[in-house]
């Protein structure tokens, strides 16, 4: 029996009859062409051109994790669990390497990244004094039916997600701007940095960077531009939600069929996380990728600590691995790290109630927890020292001492919005039934999901129990992660219902066939819905903006300064962009009035920069753009051009109005193409 699994684990047969496999494949291909013919044809035309890219990405996301599992996870682990776990582990290695490379003065490049993968491959295949040969170890990695199903679902999801973003020039919405800038600065500096020049006058970097480091790694390995690497890694991690949800469900409920159904629900029925593409919410997606691997590692560690006699070698390996994962989790996403803490606390409480019968059994759990926390703090010490430089601690302290998060910007979505966007009624119903099944089966470990969700909700809204700090964990961040709970619970319900309905079917292969057909129908329904995920209204930067940026580089002097559209965000505390002009500073190396939104979190070359940016923009935005007062304010700010893009996400309308400007004698039109207008200020 594997660590963290029940003795009643229900597994699929290792192999299917060849004829049944052939029928399923043909049916999938035929139905897939009918439902998503455009996706299939596009994929067939694109994959051969980028074959090397799609070979490098699996190596990057599997080899480091498989190597660390070999070094730190000494118990048996099914391959269908090993490779999803390896994905999550692989994602924390680049940020940790960048952290310690900064201390050692090492700057990363393509050669070092290829060397890193070569070392990981060697660690996976090297004998390490084991009696098995490398051929037998490779043979042990041969996929089972479960692996093939997971890989098939991953492949379909990746095809759909890649097709959806095929026309994106850069990532969508506001978050993509600073994510792209951070990744580019990592590439430019060969690692961590402090100065944001030449893209912004900021002087500290304290933002989580796990996702960005993986983007930089992909660029170094493939030479794909950072603007596209951001999008590619996002779609890959969206598809990898499927095996990771499978892993989480399998470890919690011990039912392989439930885990596969959960994976299908997360990958195709739930709009989250695939909808993240519209918001550029990739760092939270990366956090969820690491969250599951971290949670599974902690589960195995705490279970091992309860075993008698204690297996010290196994405990040491898992403790080090848990320390690595927890450290990497903190560098990947701060808020999601709190989700992990809530999960470990909830799971620890479950073990305390269900497994611990004496104080002597409790001490090893406490001991390994202390060891992991010490490893984590020591590992993160260089980064914690960095935190003092920016404004992160100041902002966190302000949130912790108040309940600013009870304001309008932290409101919950309406019920209609919740059911149409964040989770469908079908998913909620399945999850509700899943809770009932777990209660009926007395599966306390599976009910950890419910306790975890409740604890996260209280932590996000501490005023419910009389505490301050609302807003540190936003309700939006919590709702975005709801699929992590709903999909596993829904998988439990579907598995239980299907098993009950098919209990009279004595032929195992017929039972499997019915479930395969049902799964295929559900998958194809999901594929048809997933093709509609990308919403053009969130695309700030368009092809027209890209053409205009090229013109700016070629036709304007390097010291040209642009005023672009902006509006007050987050309670009017900072300035954000409403169209492609926000990208101008990054794309053209010409200064503008609008830095990345993280100017509210980092220190700048000028004291009080956040307030200065806000006041400076408001001084211009308060006037009609065709008024002499606006021109006077623009001259005072040193601006020589205006830029207006085709997008408009401003809640109150944009300041730069081309129709007004065309009637004004205060500006000269110098560019007007496909919705982009550029005006010289007289």
Largest CA distance in the chain: 86
pLDDT band at 466 (very low <50, low <70, confident <90, very high): confident
Highest mean pLDDT among 102-106, 122-126, 310-314: 102-106
Phi, then psi, of 445 in degrees rounded to 5: -65, -40
Q: Does position 14 have pLDDT exceeding 50, yes or no?
A: no
pLDDT of residue 44: 79
pLDDT of residue 410: 60
Token readout for 253 is: 């409920």
pLDDT of residue 143: 72
Task: Tell the residue number behind the tokens 């699996």, with chain if given.
Answer: 58
In sequence order, the 6+-apart residues with CB closer than 8 A to the CB of 543 are 167, 169, 674
pLDDT of residue 69: 95
Q: Does position 360 have pLDDT exceeding 90, yes or no?
A: no
Share of the chain above pLDDT 70, in %: 85
pLDDT of residue 467: 74
pLDDT band at 193 (very low <50, low <70, confident <90, very high): very high
Query: Percentages helix, strand, coil for the chain, rounded to the nearest 5?
Result: 65, 5, 30
Higher-confidence residue of 251 and 125: namely 251
Share of the chain above pLDDT 90, in %: 55
pLDDT of residue 4: 39
**Of 58-62, 316-320, 457-461, 512-516, where does mean pLDDT reach its minimum?**
512-516
**Of 144-148, 162-166, 189-193, 417-421, where does mean pLDDT reach its minimum?**
417-421
Parallel, antiparallel, or unpaired: how do β-strands 676-681 and 667-673 relate?
Answer: antiparallel
Could you give the 3-state DSSP secondary structure of residue 508?
helix
pLDDT band at 8 (very low <50, low <70, confident <90, very high): very low
Q: Does position 2 have pLDDT exceeding 50, yes or no?
A: no
Q: Does position 574 have pLDDT exceeding 90, yes or no?
A: no
Whether a cis peptide bond, with omega within 30° of 0, leads into 241 is no
Could you give the 3-state DSSP secondary structure of residue 15?
coil
Per this entry, what is the length of the chain? 682
pLDDT of residue 1: 35
What gap in Å lies between CA 425 and CA 431, rounded to an integer?
10
Partnered with residue 668 across adjacent β-strands are 680
**Of 337-351, 394-408, 553-567, 641-655, where does mean pLDDT reach its minimum?**
394-408
Q: For 476-535, how does the pLDDT look when each residue is reduced to its tens digit (9 = 90+)? A: 888 999 999 999 999 999 998 887 776 655 545 556 666 777 787 888 888 888 888 999
pTM of the model: 0.90
Q: For 432-453, how does the pLDDT look when each residue is reduced to its tens digit (9 = 90+)? A: 999 999 999 999 999 999 999 9
Q: What is the DSSP string of 290-346?
A: HHHHHHHHHHHHHHHHH-SS--HHHHHHHHHHHHHHHHHHHHH-HHHHHHHHHHHHH
Assess contact for 626 and 664: CB atoms under 8 A.
yes
Highest mean pLDDT among 13-27, 99-113, 123-137: 99-113
What gap in Å lies between CA 624 and CA 638, rounded to an integer?
18
Average pLDDT of the residues of the chain: 86
pLDDT of residue 18: 59
Q: Does position 405 have pLDDT exceeding 70, yes or no?
A: no
């Amino acid at each position: 029996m594997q660590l963290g699994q029940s003795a009643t684990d229900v597994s699929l047969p290792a192999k299917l009859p060849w004829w049944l496999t052939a029928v399923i494949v043909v049916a999938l291909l035929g139905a897939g062409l009918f439902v998503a013919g455009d996706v299939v044809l596009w994929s067939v035309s694109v994959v051969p051109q980028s074959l090397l890219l799609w070979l490098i990405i699996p190596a990057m996301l599997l080899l480091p994790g498989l190597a660390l599992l070999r070094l730190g996870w000494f118990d048996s682990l099914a391959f269908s669990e090993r490779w999803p776990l390896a994905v999550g582990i692989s994602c924390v290695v680049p940020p940790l390497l960048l952290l310690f490379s900064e201390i050692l003065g090492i700057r990363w490049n393509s050669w070092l990244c290829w060397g890193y993968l070569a070392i990981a491959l060697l660690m996976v295949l090297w004998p390490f004094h084991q009696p098995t040969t490398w051929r037998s170890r490779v043979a042990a990695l041969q996929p089972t039916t479960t692996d093939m199903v997971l890989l098939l679902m991953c492949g379909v999801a990746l095809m759909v997600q890649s097709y959806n973003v095929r026309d994106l020039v850069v990532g969508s919405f506001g978050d993509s701007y600073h994510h792209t800038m951070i990744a580019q600065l990592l590439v430019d500096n060969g690692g961590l940095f402090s100065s944001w020049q030449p893209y912004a006058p900021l002087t500290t970097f304290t933002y989580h960077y796990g996702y960005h480091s993986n983007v930089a790694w992909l660029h170094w390995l493939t030479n794909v531009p950072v603007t596209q690497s951001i999008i590619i890694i996002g779609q890959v991690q969206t598809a990898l939600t499927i095996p990771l949800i499978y892993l989480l469900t399998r470890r919690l409920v011990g039912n392989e069929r439930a885990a596969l159904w959960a994976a299908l629900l997360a990958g195709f029925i739930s709009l989250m996380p695939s909808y993240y593409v519209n918001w550029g919410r990739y760092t939270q997606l990366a956090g969820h990728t690491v969250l599951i691997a971290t949670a599974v590692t902690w589960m195995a560690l705490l279970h091992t600590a309860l075993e008698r006699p204690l297996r010290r070698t196994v405990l040491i390996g898992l403790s080090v691995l848990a320390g690595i994962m927890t450290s990497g989790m903190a560098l990947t996403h701060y808020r999601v790290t709190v989700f992990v803490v809530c999960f470990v606390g909830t799971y620890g409480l479950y073990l305390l109630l269900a497994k611990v019968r004496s104080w002597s059994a409790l001490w090893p759990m406490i001991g390994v927890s202390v060891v992991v926390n010490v490893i984590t703090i020591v590992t993160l010490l260089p980064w914690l020292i960095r935190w003092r430089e920016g404004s992160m601690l100041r902002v966190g302290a302000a949130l912790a001492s108040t309940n600013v998060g009870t304001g309008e910007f932290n409101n919950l979505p309406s019920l209609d919005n919740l059911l149409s966007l964040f989770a469908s009624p079908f998913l909620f119903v399945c999850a509700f039934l899943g809770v009932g099944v777990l209660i009926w089966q007395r599966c306390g470990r599976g009910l950890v999901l419910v306790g975890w969700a409740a604890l996260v909700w209280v932590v996000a809204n501490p005023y419910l129990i009389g505490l301050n700090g609302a807003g540190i964990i936003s309700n939006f961040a919590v709702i975005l992660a709801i699929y992590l709970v709903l999909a596993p619970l829904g998988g439990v319900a579907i598995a239980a219902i299907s098993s009950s309905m098919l209990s009279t079917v004595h032929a195992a292969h017929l039972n499997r066939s019915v479930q395969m057909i049902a799964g295929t129908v559900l998958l194809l329904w999901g594929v048809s819905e997933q093709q509609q995920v990308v919403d053009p209204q969130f695309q700030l930067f368009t092809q027209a903006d890209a053409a205009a940026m090229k013109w700016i580089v070629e036709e304007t002097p390097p010291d040209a300064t642009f005023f672009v559209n902006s509006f007050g965000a987050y309670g009017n505390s900072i300035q954000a962009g409403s169209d492609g002009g926000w990208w101008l500073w990054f794309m053209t190396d010409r200064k503008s009035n609008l830095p990345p939104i993280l100017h509210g979190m980092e220190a700048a070359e000028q004291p009080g920069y956040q307030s200065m940016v806000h006041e400076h923009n408001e001084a211009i935005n308060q006037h009609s753009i065709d008024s002499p007062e606006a021109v006077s304010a623009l001259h005072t700010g040193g601006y020589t051009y205006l830029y207006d893009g085709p997008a408009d996400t401003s809640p109150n309308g944009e300041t730069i109005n081309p129709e007004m400007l065309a009637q004004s004698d205060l500006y000269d039109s110098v560019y007007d193409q496909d919705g982009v207008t550029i005006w010289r200020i007289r």
